[in-house]
């Protein structure tokens, strides 16, 4: 890990303060790359970074988290670097492209959706560390929490808790909308919560081009079966054929009219409540 940062540390208040201390780090040159899914192109700028001298190990994500101050961005960044094996540049670029695609679809859905809380995707970029040995390429994202919950959200509720069920129904509406908006090319199968944002989408595609977890057309078909099994009866006994003959506005309106989104919430609410909180743990996955 010396190509990216110095020591890794465990989680104590003092050590996490050291992880957050980026001002004492030396300045270095890097390239910051962002992908625009709408224009289908990358933009690259030279920037100066300060990379914290200590990193925080997180075995749940199989990575270390390193705080970064980027002169071109007002918000603090973190870099994510895999622990088990170095990622090649293609894998890092592909992950940022998937995040950008999911974000584009999510932003379109937010303009279309009923007035409930729907988290935005966390901005993600690529950093090429030009002055490090091997010139590593790593993911960069806005700092939310050093150890966010990373609860995975999908169309299948994590529990029978009504907040979990409502969250899954909202996510199912997003899936349905984005599947049709992409002309049935992509399905956002699941995402993780990071603070008040979504991140790390698993995407199924018609041509199985969206990374190692892409289930392709079989994954999309399984999602349709599962969604119909879970919501078909609540929507008046819809068959799979009937359900997927609806346009997105009809599907979303049917969910809303039957109260399947829970209470409608106007702007200003806390997106972290998209998933039910639990006392004493309870895992995602």
Question: What mean pLDDT do residues 228-256 have?
Answer: 95
Give residue-wise pLDDT tens across range 22-67: 888 899 999 999 999 999 999 999 999 999 888 777 676 677 788 8
Share of the chain above pLDDT 70, in %: 81
Q: Tell me, what's the pLDDT at 201?
A: 96
CA within 13 Å, CB half, 195: 12
Q: Tell me, what's the pLDDT at 105?
A: 95
Q: Tell me, what's the pLDDT at 202?
A: 97
Per DSSP, the three-state class of 107 is helix
* Residue 275 pLDDT level (bands cut at 50, 70, 90): low
Q: Are 199 and 190 in contact (CB under 8 A)?
A: no
Q: Which residue has the higher pLDDT, 146 or 186?
A: 186
Q: Give 183: exposed, middle or buried? Use CB within 10 Å, 0-12, 13-18, 19+.
A: exposed
Counts for the chain of helices (H) and strands (E), in that order: 6, 11
Per DSSP, the three-state class of 14 is helix
Which helix (DSSP H) or strand (DSSP E) does residue 198 occupy?
A: strand 197-205
| Residue 285 pLDDT > 50 | no
Q: Tell me, what's the pLDDT at 148?
A: 65
Q: Tell me, what's the pLDDT at 87?
A: 75
Angle between helices 162-181 and 89-112 (to 10 degrees): 100
Give residue-wise pLDDT tens across range 195-220: 788 999 999 999 999 999 999 999 99
Contacts of 111 (CB under 8 A, 6+ apart): none
Q: Tell me, what's the pLDDT at 195?
A: 78
Per DSSP, the three-state class of 178 is helix
C-alpha 262/C-alpha 200 separation (Å) is: 26
Least trusted range by pLDDT, from 162-176, 207-221, 251-265:
251-265
| Residue 248 pLDDT > 80 | yes
Q: What angle do CA 91, 97, 102 make, to 5 degrees?
A: 130
Q: How far from 71 is each of 17, 75, 76, 178, CA to CA, in Å?
A: 21, 10, 10, 34
Q: How far from 209 is each of 61, 172, 212, 218, CA to CA, in Å?
A: 23, 22, 9, 13
State how beta strands 63-70 and 137-142 pair: unpaired
pTM of the model: 0.84
DSSP conformation class of 152: E
**Which 3-state string (H, E, C) describes 49-64?**
EEECCEEEEECCCCEE
Per DSSP, the three-state class of 28 is strand
């Amino acid at each position: 890990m010396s190509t990216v940062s110095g020591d890794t540390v465990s989680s104590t208040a003092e050590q996490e303060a050291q992880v957050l201390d980026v001002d004492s780090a030396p300045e270095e040159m890097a390239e910051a790359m962002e992908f625009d899914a709408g224009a289908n192109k990358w933009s690259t700028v030279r920037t100066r970074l300060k990379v914290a001298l200590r990193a925080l190990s997180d075995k749940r994500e199989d990575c270390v988290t390193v705080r970064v101050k980027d002169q071109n961005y007002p918000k603090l960044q973190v870099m994510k670097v895999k622990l088990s094996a170095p990622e090649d540049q293609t894998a890092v670029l592909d992950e940022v492209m998937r995040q950008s695609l999911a974000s584009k679809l999510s932003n379109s859905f937010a303009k279309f959706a009923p007035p409930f809380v729907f988290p935005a995707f966390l901005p993600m970029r690529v950093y090429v560390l030009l002055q490090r040995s091997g010139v590593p390429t790593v993911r960069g994202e806005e700092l939310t929490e050093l150890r966010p919950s990373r609860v995975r959200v999908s169309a299948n509720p994590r529990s029978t808790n009504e907040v979990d069920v409502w969250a899954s129904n909202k996510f199912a509406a997003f899936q349905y909308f984005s599947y049709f908006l992409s002309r049935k090319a992509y399905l956002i199968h699941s995402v993780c919560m990071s603070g008040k944002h979504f991140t790390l989408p698993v995407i199924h595609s018609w041509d199985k081009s969206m990374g190692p977890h892409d289930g392709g057309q079989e994954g999309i078909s399984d999602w349709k079966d599962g969604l119909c099994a879970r919501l078909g009866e609540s929507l008046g006994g819809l068959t799979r054929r009937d359900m997927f003959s609806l346009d997105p506005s009809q599907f979303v309106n049917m969910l809303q009219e039957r109260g399947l989104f829970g209470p409608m919430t106007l702007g200003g609410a806390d997106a972290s409540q998209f998933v039910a909180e639990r006392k004493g743990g309870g895992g995602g996955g």
